[in-house]
Amino acid sequence: VSVPASVRPPERLLCGPGPANVDPRVQEAMGRPILGYLDPDFVRMLDEAAEMLQAVFRRGDGLALPLSSTGTAAMEAGLAALLEPGDTIIVGVAGYFGARLCEIARRLGAALVEVSAPLGKAVPVEALLDAHRAHPDARALAVVHAETSTGVRQPIEELGAALQETETLLVVDCVTSLGGIEVEAEAWGIDYCYSCTQKCLGGVTGMAPVALSPRALERMRGRRSPAPFAFDFELLRRYWVERPPVYHHTVPAPSVYALHEALRLVLEEGLEARWRRHAKAGAALQAGLERLGLEILADEGARLPQLTAVKVPEGADGQAVRARLLAEHGIEVGGGLAGAPPLWRIGLMGANASEEVASRVLGALEGCLG
């Protein structure tokens, strides 16, 4: 076999559903020397990363750590740890990632109660609470906070308040929300909250921060059957939090460095300031899209600033426009996911959440439509 040339990825402006471009500090951090997973200098970084994660999740109690995994694996890890075969779970479905939660629950042998909403709308909290009244024995209720397939924000706070005194744990997908819009894992009563690093947190793909409440940890300890080994949160806690650390798996050092730097950037900026920056960038983009006569999929009051799903107008070829944006402008935007009408999904996440990036995307899109 002839050895190919070393990879030289082109520069892109990543304005799709993630990954997003990262700050040069994050890029540089990944190239630092690899350390062993029990090296005291490495362990100090783990401590700092876990502490910063508690702050970013706004969780003072329970457990926060990053899994060495994608967002999907964090979704699966949580359901696998919280549910046992035959347990009932209520899932709010307003798009592709809600449907993925259902698929994972089915594969785990859970009894699934699906509460759906049309694309572009959030799942009504009342409908979820009605389902809970009909299934008070449900062991978990899961929703997607920021549905990346539609650009819709799901209200969480009332759900958490209603489930606090029940046996039903609240699971929330914060993959696209954490670092971009308000997430209050503890105050909102979220029992298992998972995210990933390549979106609004401004890191690179490959780690999935999670935060667990004390009652989620208790549920895991009381299991009849053991949880999957690779995602056993008690074993992960012994490595990430207990000192001295006990080996569980070889944590990828470059990913930890990138996450550590990304979290430093988040906390230096301040969470509220970061949410405001995402809100401003998203508002500028959405106003510009409407000026171009384009229709945004999400209901006006339910729109995410960091991810906007726009309907491809009659007569335009959505795929061809995306190809031109990439080839002529170096800009990546997403298309629709299975089951959705033709869409462009435009993300302004992390380092890309600025009015300047919004106007670059708008200018390029206008050029490709004209």
Ligand X SMILES: Cc1ncc(COP(=O)(O)O)c(C=O)c1O
- Taking the complex as a whole, the smallest distance from the CB of residue 246 to ligand X amounts, in Å, to 27
- According to CB under 6 A, which one of 196, 281, 351, 353 is a site residue for ligand X? 196
Among 25, 35, 48, 72, contact with ligand X (rule: CB under 6 A)? 72
Residue spans of alpha helices (H) in the chain? 24-29, 40-57, 71-82, 96-107, 125-134, 157-163, 214-221, 233-240, 253-269, 271-291, 318-329, 355-369
Is the Cβ of residue 43 or residue 115 nearer to ligand X in the bound state? 115
Q: With binding defined as CB under 6 A, does residue 275 bind ligand X?
A: no
- Gap between the Cα atoms of 17 and 233, Å rounded: 28
Can you list the pairs that 46-50 forms with residues at least 24 positions away whose Cβ atoms lie under 8 Å?
Answer: 46/240, 46/245, 46/251, 46/256, 47/243, 48/260, 49/256, 49/259, 49/260, 49/263, 50/240, 50/241
Q: Which two tokens stand for residue 35?
A: 């350390």
97 binds ligand X (CB under 6 A): yes
Check: CB of residue 307 under 8 Å from CB of residue 16.
no
User: From CA 98, how far away is CA 346, in angstroms rounded?
Assistant: 20
Shortest distance, position 44 Cβ to ligand X, whole Å: 27
Instruction: State the nearest-atom distance from the C-beta of 245 to ligand X, in Å.
Output: 26
Is 148 a binding residue for ligand X by CB under 6 A? The answer is: yes
Q: What is the smallest separation between the CB atom of 32 and ligand X, expressed in angstroms?
A: 24
116 binds ligand X (CB under 6 A): no
- Taking the complex as a whole, the smallest distance from the CB of residue 149 to ligand X amounts, in Å, to 7
d(CA 273, CA 296): 26
Interaction pattern, residues 32-71, with ligand X; x per rule: CB under 6 A: --------------------------------------xx
Q: Which is nearer to ligand X, 54 or 306 (CB)?
A: 306
Question: 176 or 308, CB closer to ligand X?
Answer: 176
Task: State how far Cα 328 lies from the chain centre.
Answer: 29
Amino acid at residue number 188:
W
Q: Nearest approach, Cβ of 2 to ligand X (angstroms)?
A: 33
Which residues here bind ligand X, judged by CB under 6 A? 17-18, 70-72, 75, 97, 144, 148, 173, 175-176, 196
